[in-house]
């Protein structure tokens, strides 16, 4: 079919950008001229070929993926999708139910473990990896080191999680260096708070397991430790900040909160950064902390981060970073960047009021753009709200847009194809184009997203719509693409292959086009005010630099749009276009040609764009 029929995103560009942006992404791959694309894999699920999916099933029943499942073939499949970095989720050794006593690992109590497989965010040993992920649990760290080497050999970088706000209720490290003391080992447990304590305590009370309503650990299966009790004397504060000796069922009761020198009244028991440090660099931050006394927990997490970077990890995704004081991030990230300047530092921060402090004072490379950009896109995909809001959000982010990671899925969010989100992954295609092309920031894709995975399995703990992070499950759409280790889509449906091709073409474009590090301008407002028939389910913007010009038009509607797209006079002037007709070659999703007319200083393109599709063109000089 013709390009004007098939696609909803319009891009005008000319060849060969050489401009180098002033704010380069950290962790960029040598030779990569475009943006960063991070592919999140839930490590224990990725290589699992078992399709049983019994609720609360064991490894023997439901299977589990291993580090070794990330073969050269699978890694090349990921790289060819248009990926620069892999986020291996769930690598640090977290609390698990499975018995690993033969390799010296202490048992974990199901009463304080969520799911059969355990939460990846209840870390039990920061100096080793999840034994479930190893063929030989006794050599699990060696198997992960081999994965690091294999990942790099295949032209990819990797990040793992660090969870600084909390650790597993039963934290004990078997693998820590001799110089390292465990969290809490030197705490004064007679006090609720002491600056050098790693935890907060309730000195006169013992921990009690939450009262469960409609829930039984392991789905009610018997286990020698599953008795509704867990010994912890005195009780500690729970990970989400609950100060109850018996947390509530919806608290993060499987974890305990780390003390960073924040007193129980909320005041800070450490030096604070002057506001002027928002404008200063890594060296200044590092010097600031060099002779300062900092709490014990700060030093422990610094040592943990440097341990993994020294092993070859290329960066971190920091869980719930906003629950940890920004001064700690200045301390940690300046320590990291001083030794490993290319390390990629990505943080989960949801409060927009904290974005700038955590970027400027905390020295984060990237933050989740969840509460504003993702939430708005989801609302639009679901058929609600106006695409006009995207322009307002991007305008408000103008000073920090490079630092705001864009995504449509991750392990915390509902799958696009789930009935609770869109029910159909095709509906998210225009959102994916906008998300990937609107800014200089990285793009995150969650494994299976590119295949329309709906997250329909009932793993045990939690409900469908999100692929389980607590239990052993298989991921059907991904398994069909995996095709027993061939990673060739041999069992995938035509629809799954077509969707993956869309993602591949788009993502490869984003990592290869320098123009996407260039300028941005909204043309949404002008078209909404002056173009007849242009409605609020359409969204248009421009990207350009000295050599390359882009226009993006996306249709979020379930109805086609036929009409004009106007390029405002101020943008035509910036592009130095004279009155006349210009040829445009489609560079994504087809090879058609269109015309762009400039008359009296204003540009105009006649477009015909169907529901949920994309058009991409190149403007020749």
For residue 22, the model assigns a pLDDT of 32
C-alpha span between 314 and 302 (Å, rounded): 15
Note the residue count of the chain. Answer: 621
- Residues in the chain predicted with pLDDT less than 70, given as ranges, are 1-32
C-alpha span between 109 and 97 (Å, rounded): 7
For residue 304, the model assigns a pLDDT of 98
Q: Give the max Cα distance, the chain.
A: 82
- Other CB atoms within 10 Å distance of the CB of residue 65: 23
Cβ-contact 256, 202 below 8 angstroms? no
C-alpha span between 145 and 34 (Å, rounded): 29
Average model confidence (pLDDT) for the chain?
93
Q: Give the CA-trace dihedral at 311, 340, 447, 456, to 10 degrees.
A: 80
Q: Give the CA-trace dihedral at 167, 173, 175, 181, to 10 degrees.
A: 100
C-alpha span between 297 and 300 (Å, rounded): 5
Residue 322's contacts (CB-CB under 8 Å, 6 or more residues apart) are: 347, 348, 349, 350, 351, 354, 358
* DSSP tag of 268: B
What is the per-residue pLDDT across 232-285, written as a single tens digit (0 to 9) for each? 999 999 999 999 999 999 999 999 999 999 999 999 999 999 999 999 999 999
C-alpha span between 209 and 127 (Å, rounded): 28
**Residue 287 parent element (H or E):** helix 282-290
For residue 306, the model assigns a pLDDT of 98
Residue 482's contacts (CB-CB under 8 Å, 6 or more residues apart) are: 47, 49, 74
- Please choose, from the candidates 454, 417, 448, 449, the residue with its C-alpha nearest in 3D space to the C-alpha of residue 435: 449
Cβ-contact 97, 58 below 8 angstroms? no
């Amino acid at each position: 079919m013709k390009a004007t029929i098939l696609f909803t995103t319009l891009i005008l560009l000319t060849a060969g950008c050489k401009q180098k942006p002033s704010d380069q992404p950290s962790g960029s791959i040598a030779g990569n001229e475009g943006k960063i694309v991070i592919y999140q894999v839930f490590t224990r699920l990725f290589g699992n070929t078992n399709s049983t999916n019994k609720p609360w099933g064991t490894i023997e029943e439901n299977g589990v993926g291993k580090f070794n499942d990330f073969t050269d073939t699978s890694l090349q499949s990921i790289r060819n999708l248009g990926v620069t970095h892999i986020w291996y989720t769930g690598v640090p050794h977290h609390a698990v139910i499975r018995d690993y006593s033969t390799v010296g690992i202490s048992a974990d109590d199901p009463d304080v473990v969520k799911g059969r497989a355990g939460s990846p965010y209840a870390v039990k040993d920061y100096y080793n990896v999840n034994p479930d992920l190893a063929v030989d649990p006794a050599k699990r760290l060696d198997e992960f080191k081999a994965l690091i080497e294999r990942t790099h050999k295949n032209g990819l970088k990797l990040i793992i999680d660090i969870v600084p706000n909390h650790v597993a209720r039963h934290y004990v490290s078997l693998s820590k260096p001799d110089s390292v003391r465990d969290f809490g080992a030197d705490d004064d447990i007679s006090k609720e708070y002491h600056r050098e304590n790693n935890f907060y305590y309730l000195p006169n009370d013992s921990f009690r397991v939450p009262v469960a309503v409609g829930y039984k650990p392991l789905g009610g299966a018997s286990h020698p430790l599953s008795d509704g009790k867990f010994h912890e004397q005195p009780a500690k504060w729970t990970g989400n900040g609950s100060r109850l000796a018996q947390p509530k069922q919806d608290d993060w009761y499987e974890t305990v909160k780390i003390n960073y020198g924040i007193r129980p009244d909320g005041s800070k028991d450490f030096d604070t950064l002057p506001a002027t440090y928002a404008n200063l660099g890594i060296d200044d931050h590092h010097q600031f902390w060099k002779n300062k006394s900092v709490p014990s927990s700060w030093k422990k997490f610094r040592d943990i981060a440097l341990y993994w970077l020294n092993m070859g990890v290329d960066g971190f995704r920091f869980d719930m970073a906003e629950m940890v004081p920004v001064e700690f991030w200045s301390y940690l990230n300046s320590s990291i960047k001083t030794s490993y300047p290319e390390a990629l530092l990505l943080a989960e921060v949801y409060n927009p009021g904290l974005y700038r402090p955590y970027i400027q004072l905390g020295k984060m490379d990237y933050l989740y753009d969840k509460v504003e950009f993702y939430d708005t896109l989801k609302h639009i995909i679901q058929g609600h709200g106006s695409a006009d809001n995207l322009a307002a959000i991007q305008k408000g982010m103008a000073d920090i847009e490079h630092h705001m990671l864009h995504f449509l899925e991750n392990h915390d969010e509902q799958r696009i194809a789930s009935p609770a989100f869109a029910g159909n992954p095709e509906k998210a295609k225009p959102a994916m184009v906008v998300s990937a092309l609107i800014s200089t920031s990285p793009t995150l894709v969650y494994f299976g997203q590119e295949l329309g995975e709906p997250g329909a399995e009932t793993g045990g703990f939690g409900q469908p719509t999100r692929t389980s992070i607590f239990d052993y499950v298989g991921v059907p759409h991904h398994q069909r693409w995996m095709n027993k280790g061939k990673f060739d889509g041999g069992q995938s449906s035509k629809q799954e292959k077509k969707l993956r091709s869309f993602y591949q073409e788009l993502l490869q474009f984003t990592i290869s086009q320098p123009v996407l590090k260039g300028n941005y301008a909204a043309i949404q407002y002008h078209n909404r005010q002056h173009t007849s028939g242009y409605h609020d389910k359409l969204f248009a913007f421009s990207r350009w630099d000295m050599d390359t010009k882009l226009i993006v038009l996306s249709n979020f509607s379930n109805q086609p749009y036929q009409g004009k797209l106007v390029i405002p006079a101020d943008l035509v002037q910036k592009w130095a276009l004279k009155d006349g007709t210009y040829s445009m070659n489609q560079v994504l999703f087809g090879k058609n040609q269109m015309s762009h007319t400039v008359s009296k200083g204003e540009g105009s393109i006649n477009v015909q764009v169907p529901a949920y599709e994309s058009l991409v063109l190149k403007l020749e000089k």
